[in-house]
Chains A and B, each alone.
Chain A
Amino acid sequence: MERAAALFEYLLRHGDSCLILGHRVAEWCGHAPELEEDIALANIGLDLTGQAEQFLAYAGTLEGKGRDADALAYSRDAWDFRNALLCERPNGDFAHTMVRQFLFDAWQVEAFAGLARASDARLAGIAAKAAKEAHYHLRHSGEWVVRLGDGTAESHARAQAAVDALWEYTGEFFETDAVVAALGDSVPDPAALKPAWNATVDEVLRAATLRRPKDGWTQTGGYAGRHSEALGHLLATMQFLPRAYPGATW
């Protein structure tokens, strides 16, 4: 695979993951369990959407076909999206949302730490700035996972159910494929992020008195455009206006 094409794909993976997860988090706005948490969640949604804009803008520049971040976000169909499948999982209850966020944050922190050292200066710059946000998110989601896991019997059961349901979506982060191979050591090796991710996840799950599921079969395909049914509905909502009024600017 040609390097520029691979980098475009790689940027979409980060950008789309941030975009789709940010969208999910934003769905909570006005409906969170407590007012303070509503505000905190909106901050996370804003950070992720901002990160998405950065990655997608770079992807568009690199592609050189005149597509900006909005064109990429609002006019591709599901099969052209490259987000990790975990990010498109529906919000479910607050435990599902927080466990999803935690599993993602624990990966993103490691991924951005590696990317901040990337030889590509623009990519490194985006990652270095976003890394600070990711650290904050991880602290927030990690603390919630502990509170829910080691809270009441009900919250423990809900948190465990969320971990069990979402676990099969975490393997995707660590897979290597032709895109990553084409980029060589200019981006972090996905598999190499796993030990640090494991350490973070194990520590939090232990504090939360939650059981770590066995690593087994993994849902995968988001990076190649094979998504769950949930993504199409998300996009139908997100892209409604630009599609209903082609040619309009907002």
Chain B
Amino acid sequence: MSAETTSPPAPHLAKRSARRRRAFQLGEFRGLTLWVGAVLVFLYFPICVLVIYSFNESRFAMNWTGFSTDWYGRALANRAARTAALNSVIVATCATAMATVIATAAALVLARRNQFRGKTAAIGLMSLPILVPEIVTAIATLIFFSTLGIRLGLGNLIIAHTVFSIPFAFMPIRARLQGMDMSLEAAARDLYATPWQSFRLVTLPLLAPGIMAGAMLAFVISLDDFIISLMVADAGSTTLPVYIFSMIRFGITPEINAISTMLFAASVSLVTVYWLLSRPRR
């Protein structure tokens, strides 16, 4: 081993080679971090602006005059907004309950590996509400209800929301089932459990996180739905997004920002719970 190869290189050389070395770190692209940062800024910038301006004192949304929480007070005191919010919660709760039960039953069949006649068609039908553009679903539902003369008030909305929430409830439940140890239920049967007992005592508890996650997702989807509610809801059953839409038409105000921020916070909390539930355990 010769002396000159092991002696440390001059400082300026070391620095240069350190930079060059970084350049060929395999799979690294120069500027990639910057790119990703820019995309994340793009995704969060509008939300941040929305939230910040909800604390604007001025009554014109654009001009920042000072910090204030007045608009939240106004929004919470707004009777129409409260009614709309209540409608949203009622619709989302009912639709979620029905969609989750329906989706769980379907997932128990469709998550299994066996093939049967009509399985592909059944899966196709299950994903139909995701594939059809929302505006098309909205007017088809509108036509359907008005042609048959079905006027159930919130009931119409609940039915419509149930339909398009089913696939969203279905996906995490099916994923959970597919990741489950298939031999557990057989073990329960081996230990003298009836099919119903092994379902209730083994499958259902194991499936519970998936069902919760599916319910969360369905709830968020229903809560956030706008187009279908806009078309299907009649005057007495306005939901919060539809109410926000009608406000936007009269110009943007910090009050809309405040309502939107609260709706945003509700969605994010639910999605966070969903994320924590559906994360693979370690």
Asked if A and B bind, the verdict is no
Residues of A within 8 A of B (CB): none
Residues of B within 8 A of A (CB): none
